[in-house]
Amino acid sequence: MKKLLAFISAVALAASLAACGTSTAQPASDGSGVSGTFTGEAAGQGGEGNPVKVTLTLENSVITGCTAEGPGETDGIGSKAIDSMPGAIAESGSIAVDTVSGATVTSNAILAAAASALESAGLNPEDYKKEVAAAQASAEDVTKTADVVIVGAGGAGMTAAIVASDAGKKVIIVESQSMAGGNSVRSTGGMNAAKTKFQDENEFGESAGVEKTLKSADSFTGTNEETIKDLAKTVSEQWTAYQASPEGYYDSVELFELDTMIGGKGLNDPELVKTLAEKSESAIDWLDEIGAELHNVAAFGGASVKRIHRPVNAEGKVVSVGAYVIPILEKNLNDRGIEVLYETTANKIIMDGGKAVGIEAVTSAGGKVTINAGAVILAAGGFGANNDMVVAQNHPELKGYITTNAAGILGQGIDMGVEVGAATVDMDQIQLHPTVHVADDGSANLITEGLRGDGAILVNAEGLRFYDEVSTRDKVSDAENNQTGGYAWLIVDQKMLDASAVIQGYVSKGWTVTGETAEDLAKEMDMDGAVLAETIEKWNACVEAKEDAEFGRTSFAEKLEGPFYALTVQPGIHHTMGGLKINSNAEVLKEDGSAITGLFAAGEITGGVHGANRLGGNAVADFIVYGRIAGESAANYLK
């Protein structure tokens, strides 16, 4: 499979939006036009099995009302279109309303379902496609004042805003896109945190993982070697003490640090990693306080033990962390009356006497926005959606690669910081995620790493396992790229599907193939059934023995048993580990190590936390921990 940017063909799009409609009222027969309610549906992100449904109310063939349902659409992305577009259709009487930027699939499904509803009323949808004047942002110049101005309404920016607001500060956020969330809303796994009460609810069975990490530390050479050896010495002592008196679940701040440093190949800033690990437990508690519960704990790639904390739905099934947390952060913004200026792109930090005292931005209509503030927080994300910027970091091999990044992740915030003297670090460290599924419509979709932690395996086109599935992302991606076609199949079973709303979503979207037996599954995957059956049998023997002699995997769940489900995955650009240089107070630093007064940063816009490779679950930890620190530091600076 080629790692090319997805091209959405008209044929694929039409197929994905195949629609049907029904009516709940009969058209009038007196020549006055059609009146009643009529429903249409079309496949969106939820697929044909969980379509978008639109109900139109007609009076004399005029659209007077519109509602939409999309239970299969992504919270915080597709749900934005479900919430906003029906009102626009009802108000305008047209199905040619603007789509929601960043929610193209859901938006198009709404329009297709509306067209289907019109057809069910015996009407021609083309007659209802009158052009609707788009609501324009003001082109007038605007000046506002705040205590703290934040660039970016992703996880880090919203977290910082909540904390600063709770400290009594007036906060304004500017966001370049039409919705909040950035890359954060696309996070599928969870949040790493050490020594939480929720870990203690699990039985400890990860001895092999701890031993493997200590062995890796012992053989480690390179940058921050002394730090890693010292951490390993502390962890070894803790591990010995735990084995002598095994109470609760074993994890520690130092083991979290050690995993992160080894995963980052020692390029991480040890102080930033220490802060991340030390403040992770309190970050989980803070999320509880604002209404976000991450209590389900599991294994994840690069972690020695079960450390990733995940949300579950009302049925107890695991759901995507970003789609769960981002709407809760938004609610907290609204509850506090925090102003967010959408479709407003910051382009300059205002400096006065060496201090950051505000920003300048531009609206989508071209209006200039000036926000004077006592402190500035940059939380605009990395640059994973800017392929030219990625390639410019000495990565010509990534030209044209697919990406999981949101459209607004273009690196503008990093450029703004550099323009006022900020240093950058690790800009050439670009992470590929090994499990990205390219759908029939050409979209690149992140497949949660949690599936591998829960027991899924990867096989190549020949039906063979080829690497430790829960190793670090860089290593698994490299291994995948070396397989036939540069892709793999991710295999789960019915037990895993029943426990995960996330997997159920993949199935309903039509991304998977299935088989009652390994041989049946192999037919759908176009490979030798005997080979795949032997591969699964060998893996199940590894699970039973809790040992993977061939590839050294140390994370085991339950045996894989039919029915089976599989989908194709390949590496895609996922995270940029480099960015603005900060200290543990989230202050932005100059090349000489001194802080730029009044300027703070948090989240993927910063560098140093993750080194050469980010562990799954550390991005959410990063944006919550350092988002809180940035908000607190800015508020304290203004005292």
The residues assigned a catalytic role are 473
- What lies within 8 Å, CB to CB, of 125 at 6+ separation is 95, 114, 115, 118, 119
- What lies within 8 Å, CB to CB, of 89 at 6+ separation is 56, 63, 66, 95, 97, 114
Query: Hey, what amino acid is at 32?
Result: S
SS3 442: coil
* Integer-rounded Cα radius of gyration of the chain: 25
Question: For strand 296-298 and strand 308-310, is the pairing parallel, antiparallel, or unpaired?
Answer: antiparallel
Q: Which long-range contacts (CB under 8 A, 24 or more apart) does 121-125 make?
A: 121/23, 121/27, 121/34, 121/36, 121/38, 121/56, 121/58, 121/61, 122/27, 122/34, 123/34, 123/58, 123/61, 125/95
Instruction: Let me know: does 617 contact 189? Beta carbons within 8 Å.
Output: yes
Q: Cα torsion at 104, 107, 109, 115 (round to 10°)? A: -130
Query: Hey, what amino acid is at 235?
Result: V
DSSP class of 172: E
Query: Which has the closest alpha carbon to 481: 535, 442, 536, 433?
Result: 433
Range 260-298 burial, b when 16+ CB lie within 10 A, else e: bbbbbbbbbbbebbbbbbbbbbebbebbeeeebbbebbb
Helix (H) or strand (E) holding 355: strand 355-363
